[in-house]
Each structure stands twice: as C-alpha cells, then as structure tokens.
Amino acid sequence: MSGVRVLVGTRKGAFVLTSDGKREAWDINGPFFGGWEVYHVNGSPVDANRLYASQSTGWFGQLIQRSDDGGTTWEPVGNQFQYEGVPGTHQWYDGTPHPWEFARVWHLEPSLSDPDTILAGVEDAGIFRSTDGGKSWQELAGLRGHDTGHSWQPGAGGMCLHTIIVDPSDPDRVFVAISAAGVFRTDDGGRTWRPKNRGLRSGTIPDEDAEVGHCVHRLAMHPSRPNVLYMQKHWDIMRTDDAGESWVEVSGNLPTDFGFAIDVHAHEPETIYVVPIKSDSEHFPPDGKLRVYRSRTGGNEWEPLTNGLPQRNCYVNVLRDAMAVDSMDECGVYFGTTGGQVYASANAGDSWAPVVRDLPAVLSVEVQTLP
C-alpha cells in the first residue's frame, strides 16, 4: 500500500490530506467548495479515485459533488432528494407533529462492490440510494414509513440519519442510526426495517428502554465480524454480539461515557476508540485534556491515549463522523476537532501529531488506504 488519503469535511469546505505510508509528511489540498458546509466526504472501497461529497448551505440547499480523480477535480451531480409519497409528520422538539422536511445529507456510504452505487443518510431522517453515481436518488421509504416514524424526535443537531453500515458478508443487511430514534436494521436490501435497540436505556425519555427514541450518536463495526457492533450513545458505550438483537453497556472505567465518535482498529476487532466528552451541554473534553480512550478488550477496560494531544486548556469537540482508521500494516487512527485540528496516529493511538491545526470546524474525517 502506497499511502493514505484523508478526506475532511468542515463547516466551510472540504480538504484532502495525503501522505505516504509513514504518515509523517502531509500535503494539504483545499478548500474545496469554500464557504459551504461539507458534512461528509467518502470514497468508494472499490475505486479509490471515486469520491463523493455532501455540500450544503442554508442559503442554496444541498448538492452532491463527485470526483473521479481522487479529489483533484469535482463535478456536481444530483441534488434532488424527494421523500416518497406524502411525507407525513414526526415529533418536533416540543412534542407536536412536524412535517418531514429535507435539510441536508449527513452521511454518504458508497457500495462495497459498485462505485456508482451509494447510500445517503439525510436530515430529516431518511435513507436514499443512487445507482448512477449520484445523479439521481431514490428513497428507501420503508425506513421512514416504519410504524414508529411519527414518534421520532430530533436531537439537538437535527433529526439526522448519521450512520450507515453495510454488512460486508450480506449486502442486503444494513444498519443505520438516527438521532434521536435509535438503530434500525434491514435484512432485505432496504425494503423493510426493524428497530434494534433492546438493551439501550435512556433516562431522558419517558420509557427508558423504549423500542425507539434513543439518541444514538454513532455505530462502528469491524468488517471481519459483522455481528459485532459498537455504539457511542448520548450516554453509554454499548456493544452487541448478535447484530443488534441485544446491547450491553461497556462504558467501564471511562471518565465520562458521553461522546460522539467511535471506531474500531483495522486489524484488531476488539480494539476500539472513543473520545470522552463532558456533557450535558458543555461538549468539550473533561478537565481541558484531549484524550482518546482505547479498549483492547472490546470495551469495559479503557486506557487514555495522550501522547501528542493537548493536556491542558483544550475545549474542542470531536463530532460523530470525525474519526476514522486506515488499514496500513500498523493501523493509523485519525480524528478532527471543532477547533480545526486533524490529529493522526500512525501507531494505533500510542502517539499523535497534528496533520493540520487551523481548518474550519471539522465535521467529518474519512481515510482511504491507497493501493
């Protein structure tokens, strides 16, 4: 493998960071789409040059950009995300019915086998699919049409579908997560969906172990074990070993079990990473110390990783889509902050260095390991 390409979405544009296998010296390219919010940039697993970016503003709406040369040039493709049928209502913050309104694309998940096929998770929560390279989008309406859809409520960031994970062993099985509805799974390619939230407990909803209504912040899976998923919930780190049928808490000795990002080591399915964040509402690291926590036991036992990270006066956040791992022989771990730093570790988290310090607030980080 020749190197890595880090795809960064920010509040004011996208950036492409590249390095060789050492991951010490970096080229910084961008901003692309300067002035626009870029919630996510992601690359096709089967064509490293095929990238997709979600570009939006409150002024001019949503665009999807596509690159066929690894992010050097971009072309706007489709921007029509039309809910199927009469959209109906969900609950608003105050509990009253509110019409489903498309706001933006939070997450883009390219197919594991076809560079022209891609899923998009949107706000208000829904999932769309394109099979023509992003030119046209069709809703997988069975999700939004689930019996519980009318009861879903937004989290503080909006009612977003922010996580999409396709089972590498079964492309018809897809997991999604919605703030604040919870986890849903389809086993038939997106036609029907079922909540998979048994075991979650959320003290801020009337029925703390309800079927839906949980503020799931992020899911992560190791591709070799598609029945094992890890979750950063609003509070609690959770784990399932049966594809979401039941969840158990593995927060263990973390200083706080609140946070947004979670990811899994590329070669060690029981090694996971989180960034504990203080809440409610502060949303910065406890004690002003930016610490990644690593568990090598699939949760419960956590160690702080601090070498190279600021350990005083640090009050940034790490958002849910802003952590990623590469698959170099020695796994690289990356995360971006709302202060505009992108940190990289070329040794699985043992030590860290900033790739770049002064970008706009980072919304998302993805990594491509280049052939």
Where does this chain bind other proteins (CB under 8 A)?
Answer: 35-36, 57-63, 76, 79-80, 82
Q: What is the largest CA-CA distance in the chain?
A: 54
* CA atoms within 13 Å, Cβ hemisphere of 46: 11
CA distances from 361 to 68, 155, 276, 322, 336 (A): 26, 20, 18, 10, 8
Alpha-carbon distance 284 to 317, whole Å?
Answer: 5
Task: Give the residue with the Cβ less far from other proteins, 35 or 97.
Answer: 35
Task: Give the residue with the Cβ less far from other proteins, 61 or 88.
Answer: 61
- Shortest distance (Å) from residue 152 CB to other proteins: 21
- Shortest distance (Å) from residue 36 CB to other proteins: 7
- Shortest distance (Å) from residue 239 CB to other proteins: 38
- Shortest distance (Å) from residue 363 CB to other proteins: 14
Say if residues 332 and 288 touch (Cβ distance below 8 Å): no
Task: Give the residue with the Cβ less far from other proteins, 57 or 307.
Answer: 57
Task: Give the residue with the Cβ less far from other proteins, 55 or 163.
Answer: 55
- Shortest distance (Å) from residue 271 CB to other proteins: 38
Contacts of 145 (CB under 8 A, 6+ apart): none
- Shortest distance (Å) from residue 230 CB to other proteins: 34
CA distances from 110 to 50, 101, 132, 309, 312 (A): 9, 24, 12, 32, 38
Note the helical H segments in the chain.
none
Task: Give the residue with the Cβ less far from other proteins, 87 or 259.
Answer: 87
Alpha-carbon distance 141 to 193, whole Å?
Answer: 10
Task: Give the residue with the Cβ less far from other proteins, 63 or 363.
Answer: 63
